[in-house]
Amino acid sequence: MEAESRNLLVEGGKTFGIDLDEKAIEAFDLYLKELLKWNQKINLTAIRSEKGIVLKHFIDSFSVYPYLDMRSSVLDIGSGAGFPGIPLRIVQPNLAMTLVDSVRKKVDFQRHIIRILGLKGIEAIHGRAQDKEILQGLGGRFDITLSRAFSDLRTFLVLSFPFLKEKGTAIAMKGEVDGRDIRLLTEAEGAQYRLEKSVPLALPFSSFKRTILLFQKQQV
């Protein structure tokens, strides 16, 4: 990892209350190199530069860190190349993390990264969140569900509902949003939530706007 990218990673982590030690930095360095290498053959991300990956994938994944209970069970739905689940697991080993994605090659990459980094307490599952076998195996198991650029918000909330424990939290990582529209989504197709928090922010060292939305599951 170039010196500039390393500095961005470290300072970006500090912005969200994360102090990266040398072991974590080395893990992100290896993750970055493998992502760039695999991306030459498989379309894992449209971002091709080292700096872009650090800013728009690694640091973006950090942005949800302040809103996690660090001993939670977490389901990352539509995790793509492993974001935000794998970066969060690198910086917080107490999280029990499950990644789900419908694209086999992306899940293969996730498993590769988990293996070479020696990460424990994390698994990558191939399939769709609405698949019967996944619902049967994972239903009601999670304190938190996460989504980053996976789908529209309504779809994410509906899909999350059966996976969450009672009073569990669905956390959506979105771009700029209209708060009036968000409140209309707290009841959708049998999935009821209470909007706990809406946090607008700008990612450090960039003009990229992000909104973190936290919804608490309510009884139907």
Whose CA is closest to 32, among 47, 17, 14, 22?
47
Q: How far apart are CA 1 and CA 101, in angstroms?
A: 27
Q: State pTM to two decimals.
A: 0.93
Query: Mean pLDDT across the chain, nearest whole number?
Result: 91
Q: How far apart are CA 101 and CA 113, in angstroms?
A: 15
Contact 48, 30 (CB under 8 A): no
pLDDT tens digits, 132-177: 999 999 999 999 999 987 778 888 999 999 999 999 999 999 887 7
pLDDT tens digits, 98-143: 999 999 999 999 999 999 999 999 999 999 999 999 999 999 999 9
pLDDT tens digits, 170-199: 999 988 776 666 766 666 556 688 888 889
Number of C-beta neighbours around residue 95 at 10 A: 22
Q: Is 186 exposed, middle or buried (0-12, 13-18, 19+ CB in 10 A)?
A: middle
Q: How far apart are CA 140 and CA 135, in angstroms?
A: 9
Q: Is 34 exposed, middle or buried (0-12, 13-18, 19+ CB in 10 A)?
A: middle
Question: What domains can you pick out in the chain, each with its CATH number?
Answer: 65-217 (3.40.50.150)
Average pLDDT over residues 41-55: 90
Residues 6+ apart with CB under 8 A from 146: 64, 74, 75, 76, 77, 84, 85, 171, 173
| Percent of the chain at pLDDT exceeding 70 | 93
Which tokens belong to 80? 């793509």
